[in-house]
Structure 1
Amino acid sequence: MRAVSLLAIGHGQIVAQRENWPCWLAVVLGCGIACYFSLPVEPPLWLPAIFCALGFGGAIFFGLSAHARILFWPALFFGVLCLGFADMTYRTLSATPHMLAEDLPGAYVSGRVARTEPLPNGLRLTLSPAFLGHDAEDDGAEPFSLRITVLRPVGDIVPGDWVRLRADLRPPSPPPAPGAYDFRRQAFFDGLDGTGFAFRAFKQESAEGRQATSFFDTYDDWADTLRQRIGDRISAVLPGPPGALAIALVVGNQTALRKADLDAMRDSGLAHLLSISGLHISLAAGLMFFSTRFLLALFPWLALRAPIKKWAAVMALAGAFFYAILAGATVPTQRSVIMTGIVFGAILLDRSPISLRLVAWSAIMLLLWQPESLIGPSFQMSFAAVLALVAVFDALRQPLLSLRRRVTAPPADIGGRVLSYGGQGLFWLATMVLSSLAASLATAPFGLYHFNRLQFYGIAANMLAVPITGFLIMPAAVIALLLMPLGLDGPALHVLGWGCAAVLWVAHTVQDWPQAVTAIPTMPSWGLIAATTGFLWLCLGKGKARALGLAGFALMVISIFIQPVPDVFISASGRLLAMRGPDGQLGVSSNRSEKLVRETWLRRVGQDKSATFEKLATTQNWISCSYPDMCEGEIAGRRFFFDLGRVPSPVDCTAADLIIVPQRWVRCPPGNAATIIDRRIFRSSGAMTLRIENGAVQIDSVAASIGKRPWSAYQLIGIDEDQRSASGSMASENEDPPGGDDAGD
């Protein structure tokens, strides 16, 4: 009876959420996708497919039964959960990349240019298909998809051209630490097999029979070439940083921006302007809608006889899709286009276009199409901002309408007119502050989790930059695109450049304010789950119980403070190591090697800069170094010794409790209690972190955190299950290394 009463209470809550049912379906669909990524092994497709069929079948059965209708919603939610899981499983099976197995220095590459991206110095080419070797494409060799940075391209290279070059290639990089961003996983779903660097690239003039052979290839070549031509035109008229920002805002290409400008945009909270998303698409579509409707309204005969509002909606949809093509159809762009399509579709059907259901259906469509986008910061922050804005303004609709009527009363005289205009300005300013506050608070948990950065002046920066973007940059960009085929786009591009220069000024000014950005230590996954749950309940809940969502944010804050910080970081190559000293600060073996890895480590511990061990050895007594890559000392009560060099040297197994020699094999006598991390461990573990608790060394590796998944770099070698436990089992491995020549004694 108690179970039945609980079901009845749950059913009553579900019925009370009737208007938000699509939102909860989207949430359950996302939970199914998240469950897939939480597994340590790859599941078979038939298993979630069977459960999905059982869930939907049960929902149909219970829905038709008068006595068991109370079970309809649990069965439906279970079916949707399994649908998300099955959809993600199928997406993985349908992705068939064949990543490079190892680094290939000086490899000869020939390939078809699928995309070009300008850089401050050089050009980045995406080659697909690409072949390795001089005549590999004539021998039926396996094609690859490669992304290569070229320092000095030769000739005018456009998408669709074939090029030859000699490049240093490497497979997509695995995470630099357990739990860090997995570029290799993203490359797996993007179909990217490797990256590389080349000094020069030569265009092949004779490419008969190797042009685009499908409609999609032809379309991609046309869109990418158009994007490149527009970017070249903008850079020719607007050289320097304003032109690079204009290219990012118009065609969605951020690679031309300088690192200093990118850092300023991120630190000031304006990085969302660089991603072609809801703000840009809605502004472009809105300009097309109101401009078309205004022009049609100039003809009274037509305006009185034709549905010009719906005609304007069709033109706005066309403008939104064209802008999405220029932006490269990234996840925020896809989400924005879907939402824009639903908005103007509602106008065509004479329905209300703005609601939480709009956000829900766009999320469902995108998750079914690209389910892997769920775990990316772009999807999470984009939908969080939109959901928060819709929920806040929906909840405050009546108070805002009442306030607007009071401050914008019809003027009775000149003084009243001035007060009315002032009231309109104040109301617009208040809504701008409210929008910035809602979006900033909604995206903060996801920004903390993915980037470990907290911007304190984001609201102020957005209040200055967003109006410039909406009233100056976007209108100028739309006018420039319309006039570009006629060669009359110069004045509009100059206005666009002024707006971009103003936005960059705002970004750099806010970045220079004291404590503009603060580094935050890594948030655990359960902290993000708690914050997301609380955020969804705040937006979708009903009544006073909605306040319970604040508990999720409280748990998020607690998770940051109680998350243990690793004492040692070791890179996958074994050439970079970091240790946390008694003062809690992270020191590194080198400030020149593996810059991206080092910056990731520092960001994950909430630190901006680091000193080298060689420098620390001169001022602190917990470490001493014979060479920059060979040090010893004591950390957390354990004696350590590490040697990052390749030259064989003796290792005293009794002189340290923790021995780290990642470039070589180490052989110690049986019964030795030291924890040994040598080359054989790295072959199957990748980058790892060590945490010392009560004298025991807890080891976490990238291989163990990923599991046996298709995108893992270590699945062919296998994952040592002992890596998941403390270091005792590792210390017991005393087998001789192959050859034994470079083993320590």
Structure 2
Amino acid sequence: MGVLSFWHARSEAALEGQRGYLFPWAPVALGLGIGFYFLWPGEPGGAIYAVALALGTAGGLWALLRPGGLSVLGAGAALIALGLGLAGARAHLVAAPVLGFRYYGPVEGRVIALDRSASDALRLTLDRVRLEDVAPGRTPARVRIALHGGAADWRPRPGLRIMTTAHLAPPEGPAEPGGFDFQRHAWFQRLGAVGYTRVPVLIVAPAEGARLAAFRMAIAARVRAVLPGDLGGFAAAVTTGDRSGVSLETLQALRDSNLAHLLAISGLHMGLLSGFVFAALRFGLALIPALALRLPVRRIAAAGALVAAAGYLALSGGGVATQRAFVMTAVVLGALMVDRRALSLRAVALAALILLMLRPESLLSPGFQMSFAATTALIAVFGALRDGRLSLGPSWLAPVTGVVLSSFVAGLATAPVGAAQFNTLSHYGLVANLLAVPVMGLMVIPAAVLAACLAPVGLAGWGLWLMGLGLRWILAVAHGVADLPGATGHLVTPGPWVLPLFAAGALVLCLWRGRGRLIGVGPVALAVLLWAGAERPAVLISADGGLVGVMTERGRALSKPRGAGFVAGIWLENDGDGADQPAAAARWPAAQGKLRVAETSGLRILHVTGKGAAAELTACNKAEVVVSALPLTLEGDCLQFDPIRLRQTGAVALGETGMWLSRDPTRARLWSGAGVSGRRQAHSPGRDQ
């Protein structure tokens, strides 16, 4: 008991020492509960929620009735239980039918959004959907269709009711076990089918509703008319959130130079806009002594900036990233209006709490993770400089030092998330941001505000022209940096515990007060070691059996040089391999007969790629793995993956330590177990190309 009493007293004292600095840990506890929901093996049942409710209630009562340092643990337990409940409730509230088969036929719906696919095709998102021979109660709430062929050059307005003939399929699961789950992503967007069309799109009814979206598209079209090409596409993305006018080449250059964040209306844009409006209003009111001496100029300027930010949110379409940016901006401006410190860890924590309560699934998004990683790190670092009374240099040099330090800290904080999520590292990203971000703040955003102010009198072109000058410089920087030798590096996907360990260590370093924060170095160092030792599966099998990837000394060898390009790209990215599909296919050993054969880890992999190969193969043995996109009946006790089995397993990974499946029927989640039935399967595949 003496040891327990000692540790109890030490813990009590440690937590008492943090009193007044514990609120930033509230979203961490809430996020833990949300994370438990998404990591749970299978959909939690009523018993799980009942236990969480009981533990959360007990923790909350302990926090209220037993004041002291350890009471914070009770509050944390309550927040964890709340997070689990919020995530489960959100998943059930957004539930909508999901197409359970491949469909080819008429598709009718209302256009609510436009964007571009990975292959640079224009995509339409439709609601109020109708499908032939599919009951309304089983029709997806939303579908997304990529336009190819005769439909590729048409750009509809939101609100139009259109009809076409399209290939549709349910959203696919992970391309490999443990990978990004598009089914889950689509579930929370109420997206029940994706696909493509190659025939013209017909308008069946004029625009109804979606007036704000149509207004956005009209502004975007006007911007592109004044600034043609990628320049106009970039300007439209910055002003309205419509990125459909940016070419794939330019988008890739922005990614390779670590400037792609300038396309998304995020915290940077919202902060620059509200900061510019705040400064302009405050300076303008200060020039009028009669007003400056009688009115709370600072509060009025903050209120005006908040109105401008709300207008920007509405104009941009209110995407998740923009909502997140608005909440953070609103918290900062609200603090100014009540004479509190605007940029503090408390403000960041409050913004995170609001966002996680509204959209618990955002915890899994790279945008959320990177935004709060950068903001938390910046406030922690500059707060430490302020508390330590450390100077950034002479007054004439301090602004430059501040920009360099801000870019370095934000880049360092977001690098692990970006590298883990996208498997690339921009070696010259800091240089590109130092050259581009100041232009965005000093020229592009003010010019956009000027264009908006001059638009009612027909002079928006002046502001857009000035905006174009700044964007032309940013694009030149992006292409110049992206073309440098070795501009990007490729990293292997880390194991499942790497990012959580990084986050835990970084949070302790940023949020804990005193020397105890150095404990955070341990988890960060362990995460680095685990990442350095990450191993990839020896064999990967696509969910439809159309592609096999085998690890060799030269890297991943793919069984086909064409087809399943999306899956092939994800596999190679996760391997940290910069090769394309044809180059990876060239690593595959020479074909033996009509089969594609390779050997790895003591296994002989046979990929059946057509009817001729299927007819040739009649038997197999225990040391063989047979993969086929066609149904097979084989003699022997080999490991066999054909369409019948792959429908149950999804994508498969094989390694020396076992086999992993991306779909487990015994552990179905809401997004993996939903579907509709009752119509014949179409002959053509549906892909969101």
TM-score, normalised to structure 1, is 0.85
Structure 2 counterpart SS, 1:284: helix
Counterparts in 2 of 1:131-150, with a 5 A limit?
A: 131-133=130-132, 142=139, 144-150=141-147
Residue 414 of structure 1 is matched in structure 2 by none
Conserved in 2, the CA contact under 8 Å of 1:269 and 1:458?
Answer: yes
2:662 maps to 702
How far apart in 2 are the matches of 1:332 and 1:118? 17
2:345 corresponds in structure 1 to 356
Residue 124 (structure 2) pairs with residue 162 (structure 1): no
Judge which range, 535-544 or 366-375, deviates more: 535-544
Give 1:675's aligned residue. 639
**Residue of structure 2 in register with 1:664 after alignment:** 630
Q: CA-to-partner distance for each residue in 1:222-258, whole Å, 9 max, x for gaps?
A: 3211211111011101111111111121112223211
The alpha-carbon deviation at position 564 of structure 1 amounts to 2.3
CA contact (8 A) 1:169 1:196 kept: yes
In structure 1, distance between residues paired with 2:666 and 2:339: 49
In the TM superposition, what is the alpha-carbon distance from 1:690 to its structure 2 partner?
Answer: 1.5
The CA deviation string for residues 510-567 of structure 1, in whole angstroms up to 9 with x for no partner, is 1122222111111011111111111101111222332222222222221123222111
- Looking at structure 2, the residues matched to 37 and 363 of structure 1 have their Cα atoms a distance apart, in angstroms, of 18
Q: Which residue of 1 aligns with 2:370?
A: 381
Deviations, residues 47-99 of structure 1 (Å, cap 9, x unaligned): 43553354345433553357xx5652222111111010011111111121211
Relative distance call for 1:174 and 1:228 in structure 2 (3 A) is same
Taking a change above 3 Å as real, the CA distance of residues 332 and 15 of structure 1, as seen in their structure-2 partners, is: farther
Between 446-455 and 57-66, the greater mean CA deviation after superposition: 57-66
Q: Aligned pair in 2 of structure 1 residues 380, 673: CA closer, same or farther (>3 Å)?
A: same
1:721 alignment partner in structure 2: none
Q: How does 1:520-539 map to 2 (within 5 A)?
A: 520-539=491-510
Between stretches 439-448 and 287-296, larger displacement belongs to 287-296
- Contact 1:569 1:688 survives alignment (8 Å): yes
2:537 and 2:582 map into 1 onto residues whose CA distance is: 17
Would you say 1:202 and 2:199 are equivalent positions?
A: no
Q: 1 CA distance for matches of 2:219 and 2:676? A: 44
- Higher relative CO (Cα under 8 Å, sequence separation at least 6) belongs to 2
Contact persistence 2:112–2:127 (CA under 8 A):
yes
1:102 Cα deviation from its structure 2 partner = 1.6
8 A Cα contact 2:100 2:675, kept in partner: no
Aligned to 2:403: 432
Q: Indicate the SS of the match to 1:306.
A: coil
Are the aligned partners of 1:641 and 1:656 in contact in 2 as well (CA < 8 Å)? no
Q: Note if contact 1:568-1:577 (Cα within 8 Å) is conserved in structure 2.
A: yes
- Per-residue CA deviations over 1:653-700 (Å, capped at 9, x if unaligned) read 35672232322344444xx4533333332120111122135xxxx221
Q: Distance in 1 between matches of 2:671 and 2:389?
A: 50
Cα deviation, 1:197-233, whole Å, max 9, x if unaligned, reads 22322212478xxx44xxxxxxxx1321121111101
Larger Cα-atom Rg:
1
1:11/1:577 Cα in 2 relative to 1: closer, same or farther (>3 Å)? Answer: same
Q: Hey, what does 1:736 align to over in structure 2?
A: none
Work out the CA distance in 1 between the residues paired with 2:4 and 2:351. Answer: 35
CA deviation after TM superposition for structure 1 residue 490, in Å: 0.6
Unaligned ranges ≥5, structure 2: 678-689
**1:288 correspondence with 2:300:** no
Q: More deviation in 24-33 or 565-574?
A: 565-574
Structure 1 pair 379–437 and aligned structure 2 pair: CA distance change class (3 A): same
**Distance (Å, rounded) in 2 between the aligned partners of 1:716 and 1:126:** 20
Gaps of 5+ in 1: 213-220, 409-423, 718-745
**AA matched with 1:691:** G
Partner of 2:448: 477
Q: Say how many residue pairs are matched.
A: 670
Query: Secondary structure of 1:513's partner?
Result: coil
Answer whether contact 1:41 1:708 (CA < 8 A) is retained. yes
| Aligned equivalents of 1:709, 1:572: Cα separation in 2 | 18
1:167-196 Cα deviation digits (max 9, x unpaired) = 111211211111111111111011111122
Within 5 Å, give how 1:108-187 maps onto structure 2.
108-117=106-115, 123-133=122-132, 142=139, 144-151=141-148, 152=151, 157-187=156-186
Question: Does residue 1:303 correspond to 2:292, yes or no?
Answer: yes
Deviations 1:559-583 (A, max 9, x none): 12322211112111211121122x1
Counterpart contact for 2:16–2:69, Cα < 8 Å: no
Distance 1:186 1:253 in 2: 20
> Residue 615 of structure 1: CA displacement?
3.9
> Which residue of structure 1 aligns with residue 576 of structure 2?
606
Partner residue in 2 for 1:589: 559
Match of residue 732 from structure 1: none
Corresponding position of 1:712:
672
Amino acid aligned to 1:108:
P
Distance in 1, Cα, partners of 2:322 & 2:154: 32
Distance in 2 (CA, whole Å) between partners of 1:153 and 1:624 is: 38
1:88/1:371 contact within 8 Å kept: yes
1:684 paired residue among 648, 668, 671: 648
- What's the secondary structure of 1:649's corresponding residue? helix
Identity %: 35
Query: Which amino acid is the alignment partner of residue 84 of structure 2?
Result: F
Is residue 2:348 matched to residue 1:347? no
The answer to whether the Cα contact below 8 Å between 1:631 and 1:641 also exists between their aligned partners in 2 is yes
Task: Give 3-state SS (helix, strand or coil) of 2:262's partner.
Answer: helix
Distance 2:370 2:221 in 1: 31
Deviation at 1:613, TM superposition (A): 7.8
Contact 1:706 1:712 in 2 (8 A): no
Q: What amino acid sits opposite 1:16 in the alignment?
A: G
Aligned partners of 1:545 and 1:313: how far apart in 2? 37
Evaluate the alpha carbon distance shift between residue 707 and residue 481 of structure 1 in structure 2; reply closer, same or farther with a 3 A threshold: farther
2-side partners of 1:455 and 1:153: how far apart?
32
Judge which range, 641-650 or 447-456, deviates more.
641-650
1:504 alignment partner in structure 2: 475
CA RMSD across the alignment: 2.6
Alignment pair present for 1:326 and 2:315: yes
Secondary structure, counterpart of 2:315 in structure 1: helix
- The reply on whether 1:637 has 2:602 as its aligned counterpart is yes
* SS of residue in 1 equivalent to 2:413: helix
Aligned to 2:683: none
Post-superposition CA distance 1:337-388 (Å, at most 9, x none): 1122122212221222111000001000100110000011111011101111
The answer to whether residue 616 in structure 2 is matched with residue 650 in structure 1 is yes
Please say which of residues 315-324 and 482-491 is displaced more in the overlay. 482-491
- Residue 633 of structure 1: how far off its partner (Å): 3.9
Residues 611, 163 of structure 1: alpha-carbon distance in 2 compared, 3 angstrom cutoff: closer
